[in-house]
Amino acid sequence: MNKRKIINDPVYGFISISNDFIFDLIQHRYFQRLRNILQLGLTNLVYPGASHTRFQHSLGAMHLMQEALEVLRYKDIIITKEEEEATLAAILLHDIGHGPFSHTLEHTLIKSVSHETLTDLFLEALNREFKGKLSLAIQIYNDTYHKHFLHQLVSGQLDVDRLDYLTRDSFFTGVSEGVIGTERIIKMLNVVDNELVADIKALYSIEKFIISRRLMYWQVYLHKTVHAIETMLIQGLKRAKTLVSQGNDLFLPPSLRIFFEKDIEAEDFLSNEELLNAYADLDDRDIWYCLKMWRSHSDFVLSELSKRVYYRNLFKIEVMENEIETSYIQNIKAQTASFFNLSSEDVSYFVIHGKMENRAYNKALPPIRILDKNGNLHPLENLSDHLNHRTLSEIVNKYFICYPKHII
């Protein structure tokens, strides 16, 4: 069978699969499930074009990794064929632990297990299945391999993951502020003392990359309407879990029921291999079908939340610069409880408040390093006027409150 394939990608044109093992990983059911998990969760209810998947993003990140490795080899950085294959595998599988609706339901379906932990579990399972062929990829992914720059390409402040998701998310949402100079940034990559660096010629492109990341968070990832939809879905699933714990009859696919009937810990996956297979069966369609079935459930809270998400009858959301006063929250709760005839406990499903955080560049993490014409290295923030501004390098908090429309 010919495993050397070309994939037509709407963002980059053609993506080449020139390695048999990479093809086998793509064909694996663990990876194929990413076709049914949207990259941006429920964002397509605000930006209708945002229907791209984790599958597409992972292939795009792999494509950029191929280009980055080629650039580094051209600059006489030694990267063996084995290292190339392992690095491509690491970036291809970096998001394999995501569940339905990506980040939206993280810590909701499985409260104390992150998608990064689940990715580690999938990598170990695949490594056993492929008889150790992923061992080097796992070392690179976990930053235990001696060539640190390979890990930085997979996960860092200037990695190919971020380069692809900003480019791809901007393309599919139509938000032009996310457009970045991906090709120029990759062409300017280099390695000094085992660290990934960028030539000074890329300084303005990298500044634009960081500014674009900030804008994309406020305009897409933390868009207030998107946040309202995600909050409603989370509240619906929390209600469903509560009902199941109380012994109520509730429609649930078998694989999903496992995670509703018991609080699963990371250790449970290690002691029960079937849990990982059950998780691998889940995707966005399971949640949508549950919402469809729950619309007619006898529990008012569950049915109302399900109908509102399913038909896009959204909560109102207010976003403020300062913390919301307790008296304001209590007033909205009282009016909501009165309007729907809810108990003080149930009204918390309809009135939700919290905090949104955005930081485009984290100075606490290893910095992006810039190589000047004299061969000297500088942290990006020492050369960039923009990164001295708090909105780019410090956490910016905004506070929100969600509640049904027409209450006030």
Domain boundaries of the chain, sorted by first residue: 5-221
Q: Mean pLDDT score of the chain, rounded to an integer?
A: 93
pLDDT in tens, 262-289: 888 888 888 888 999 999 999 999 999 9
Q: Nearest CA to 86 among 158, 152, 18, 21?
A: 21
Q: Nearest CA to 380 among 222, 206, 229?
A: 206
CA distances 310 to 48, 292, 295, 339, Å, are 15, 7, 8, 22
pLDDT at residue 395 above 90?
no
The strand pairing partners of 16, in sequence order, are 6
Q: Categorize the per-residue pLDDT at 2 as very low, low, confident or very high, splitting at 50, 70 and 90.
A: confident
Residue pair 119/270 in contact (Cβ under 8 Å)? The answer is: no
- Judged by DSSP in three states, 343 sits in coil
| Per-residue confidence (pLDDT) for residue 391, from 0 to 100 | 61
Distance CA 213, CA 385 (A): 17
Does CATH number 1.10.10.10 belong to domain 5-221? no
For residue 174, with 0-12 CB atoms within 10 Å meaning exposed, 13-18 middle and 19 or more buried, which class applies?
exposed
pTM, 2 dp:
0.95
The tokens describing 274, both together, are 């079937």
| Per-residue confidence (pLDDT) for residue 263, from 0 to 100 | 86
Q: Which residues contact 33 (CB under 8 A, 6 or more apart)?
A: 280, 281, 283
| Per-residue confidence (pLDDT) for residue 262, from 0 to 100 | 87
Q: Report the phi/psi class of residue 78: left, alpha or beta, with left for phi > 0 and alpha for psi in -120 to 50.
A: beta
For residue 151, with 0-12 CB atoms within 10 Å meaning exposed, 13-18 middle and 19 or more buried, which class applies?
buried
CA distances 35 to 60, 284, 332, Å, are 13, 10, 40
